[in-house]
Structure 1
Amino acid sequence: MRIKEDLIVTSISLGGYEVPVPIGLSELLNRAGAWKYIAPGSLDNQMDPLENYEREVVKENGNFRTYLTYKKPLENKKVS
């Protein structure tokens, strides 16, 4: 489902850090059609592409870095 309303980004946080919202971000996301509704319980809502990664956000010298570390999936996990 495509959202027909324009959404306005009022704040951004990254790993617990507050990040200023760049001018024009809301317009860019709205024009790009970036907003997508995912119904609760749908298959799209259950898939997490970062499920096997640990995520850490660090602020170094005024810049943010996101470290993704691959963690080995559980061996006993069943795949259907």
Structure 2
Amino acid sequence: MRIEERLNVTSISLDGFQLPVPEGLSELLNISGAWVYQKEDKAEEKNHLNKYDRKVVMESGRLRTYLTYRTTSTKKFDNKKIS
């Protein structure tokens, strides 16, 4: 199912940081077909970032997003207490 919507972007925030909305962003997103209705189960399957931890920080007046890949240890001796 595809539902066409004309949306207007009024604000943008990234982990609590407010960003200015560039002029023409709504029009660009509407023309490109970026707004697509998806069922929740389909959206979860396509989330490629679910194996990453995300941290957003302000550095020198710029927002930076750090993605850190989550690793799971398979070594047996990792939890072993050594005296």
- The bucket for the TM-score relative to the shorter chain is 0.7 to 0.9
SS in structure 1 of the partner of residue 30 of structure 2: helix
Indicate the residue corresponding to 1:46 in structure 2: 44
TM-score with structure 2 length normalisation?
Answer: 0.77
Q: Superposition RMSD on alpha carbons, in Å?
A: 1.7
SS in structure 2 of the partner of residue 45 of structure 1: helix
> Is 2:50 the counterpart of 1:66?
no
Contact kept, 8 Å, 2:4 with 2:35, in 1: the verdict is no
TM-score with structure 1 length normalisation?
Answer: 0.79
Larger Rg: 2
Indicate the residue corresponding to 1:36 in structure 2: 36
| Count of residues in correspondence between the two structures | 73
Quick one: distance in 1 between partners of 2:3 and 2:27?
14
Whichever structure has more helix as a proportion of its residues is 2
Query: Aligned pair in 2 of structure 1 residues 74, 8: CA closer, same or farther (>3 Å)?
Result: farther
Q: How far is 1:54 from its partner?
A: 0.4
SS in structure 1 of the partner of residue 2 of structure 2: coil
Gaps of 5+ in 1: 76-80
Contact kept, 8 Å, 2:9 with 2:21, in 1: the verdict is yes
Contact kept, 8 Å, 1:2 with 1:35, in 2: the verdict is no
Instruction: Letter of the 2:70 partner, please give it.
Output: K
Of 45-54 and 56-65, deviating more is 45-54
Gaps of 5+ in 2: 75-83
Instruction: Letter of the 2:64 partner, please give it.
Output: R
